[in-house]
Amino acid sequence: MNQPIDLRSDTVTRPTPAMRKAMANTEVGDDVMRTDPTVIALEERTAGLFGKQAALFVPSGTMANLLAILAQTSAGDEILTHSESHIFYYEGGGYAAVAGCSIKFVDDADSPKPGIMTAASLGKAIRPSDVHFPTPKLFTIENTHNRGGGVVWPMDVLKETCTFAKEAGLCVHTDGARIWNAACALGVDLQSLAAHTDTISACLSKGLGCPVGSLLIGDQETIDIARHKRKMLGGGMRQAGVLAAAGLYALDHHLDRLGEDHARATKTASALAEMPMFDFDPAKVETNLVYAKLSEQAVEAVGDAFVWQDKLEAAGILCYAESVDTIRFVTHLDLDDAMIEEAIGRIGSL
């Protein structure tokens, strides 16, 4: 059996020996007591990178998003977001179960890319104040947009839509699990991506290759509320500096290499798009996520994407079916050019 090549997600990366060494050697304290110097250093550094007052280290992107909701809404409020957003699609309904909020969808019908919402479509979704309606409180965007194909928000649309949301009285949260990839793809700094959002979550455990951890970034008051809610959720960690050290290491060593993952995704997409098995436009791939639509002929001959996922696994390719006709392949730190070549060869041989 071939050694499997894991293209399921950028979450599968394992800490490098150098990262493990940084984790082992770091100074720690008790972060609930605010005496862990490494956590404090990571939070301060991240807040600075995004041009905000404060940051909070949390175990996961899901918790960072939930804390953004809890800190900026009350039970009964409405969140406006896209129907394919991670917050709605993949977070176990935490916005409802824990925060007591409902969701109203904002569509992308007039938008340049899937998952990206214009000010006009947000305007249509915001209902007037009325005794019947929940209070719209929070607008959330995702950059890069995972189920939109890893696409990046164009800077002008980002500014226009978020400014519109603020003027309509909404708080704005950016799910920036892969905000580093967005900055890399656009060639802009993180501050400009965070300028029009009140809070932003950023994951260390995806493209940056850390084993655990995300940050919620925003103004001091909001982060203080989130810190309190984090404890409530059981997310107050003690000698968390061991984990934060991985984050500091990744900011120093893994941020500047994300372009390599993007180049490998582009290469993978171009090769897959040539195969009769697929039918999609590789030019739509902007970062490290390749959403590859199966051709009708592939579905007719073999089955839907879930059947193909099993077939690919048997051939030593790990990936995820994201819908009945689309498979996602993700490039990341644990893959090199030779592994991508090998993966393309294995897929092409099916």
* Cβ(193)–Cβ(179) below 8 Å: yes
36, 175, 198, 286: residue in contact with ligand TLP (rule CB under 6 A): 175
Nearer to ligand TLP (CB atom), residue 146 or residue 326: 146
* Cβ(328)–Cβ(285) below 8 Å: no
CA distance 52 to 216: 11
Residue 244-273 contact track with ligand TLP, rule CB under 6 A, x = bound: ------------------------------
Question: CA 44, 49, 55, 60 torsion: positive or negative?
Answer: negative
Residue 2-21 contact track with ligand TLP, rule CB under 6 A, x = bound: -------x-x----------
Helix axis angle, 220-232 relative to 61-72, nearest 10°? 120
Closest residue to ligand TLP, judged by C-beta, is 61
CA distance 278 to 283: 14
Structure tokens belonging to residue 131: 């005794």
CA distances 20 to 6, 9, 100, 246, 314, Å, are 21, 21, 39, 7, 32
142, 198, 261, 325: residue in contact with ligand TLP (rule CB under 6 A): 142
What residues between 31 and 70 interact with ligand TLP by CB under 6 A? 60-62
Q: Is 86 in the site for ligand TLP (CB under 6 A)?
A: yes
CA distance 217 to 198: 8
Structure tokens belonging to residue 166: 């603020």
CA distance 153 to 115: 9
Q: How far is the CB of 129 from ligand TLP (least distance, A)?
A: 31
Nearer to ligand TLP (CB atom), residue 126 or residue 176: 176
Q: Is 214 in the site for ligand TLP (CB under 6 A)?
A: yes
* Cβ(71)–Cβ(222) below 8 Å: yes
Q: Is 177 in the site for ligand TLP (CB under 6 A)?
A: yes
Q: Is 286 in the site for ligand TLP (CB under 6 A)?
A: no
Nearer to ligand TLP (CB atom), residue 90 or residue 133: 90
Q: Is 309 in the site for ligand TLP (CB under 6 A)?
A: no
Q: Is 197 in the site for ligand TLP (CB under 6 A)?
A: no
Nearer to ligand TLP (CB atom), residue 233 or residue 275: 233
Number of residues that bind ligand TLP (CB under 6 A): 14
Nearer to ligand TLP (CB atom), residue 126 or residue 217: 217
Cβ burial 39-57 (10 Å sphere, 16+ → b, else e): bbbbbebbbebbebebbbb
Q: How far is the CB of 60 from ligand TLP (least distance, A)?
A: 3
Q: Is 326 in the site for ligand TLP (CB under 6 A)?
A: no
Residue ranges that bind ligand TLP, judged by CB under 6 A: 9, 11, 60-62, 86, 90, 142, 146, 175, 177, 203, 205, 214
